[in-house]
Amino acid sequence: MSTARRAIAMHHSPFHPHHGHSKALCVKVLRRLSAYLDDELTVGICKEIRKHLGACPNCEEFIASLRQAVSLCRHIDPAPLSPAFKVRLRIQILKAAGRG
């Protein structure tokens, strides 16, 4: 999972569009924000998102908050996993993949 996707999953910001845009357009943009922040979208889609963000204070505020959360996540060292946990995790992954 990318850093942006982890930050989205961890970030619980309420979203209420009240600025003249349709809620559907805001939701469409929000669904693409992780890929947008990870530079995984085409130039055309990025332009659409930037245009929307420039006109939508709620989405602009949300992405600013999300960028801050991503930045914080990038600077946190993950806790080390115990050897026993690594073994259990590997077994679970192999079982889920149908190899265990």
pLDDT confidence of residue 97: 82
Q: Tell me whether residue 73 is exposed, middle or buried, using C-beta atoms within 10 angstroms of its C-beta: 0 to 12, 13 to 18, 19 or more.
A: middle
Task: Indicate whether 19 pLDDT > 70.
Answer: no
Q: Give 32-85 pLDDT, tens digit per residue.
A: 988 998 899 999 999 999 999 999 998 999 889 988 988 888 888 888 989 999
pLDDT confidence of residue 4: 55
Q: How many domains are there within the chain? A: 1
pLDDT confidence of residue 1: 52
b/e burial code for range 15-50 (CB count within 10 A of at least 16 → b): eebeeebeeeebeebbebbbbbbeeebeeeeeebbe
> pTM higher than 0.85 for the full model?
no
Tell me which residue range forms the domain holding 84: 3-96
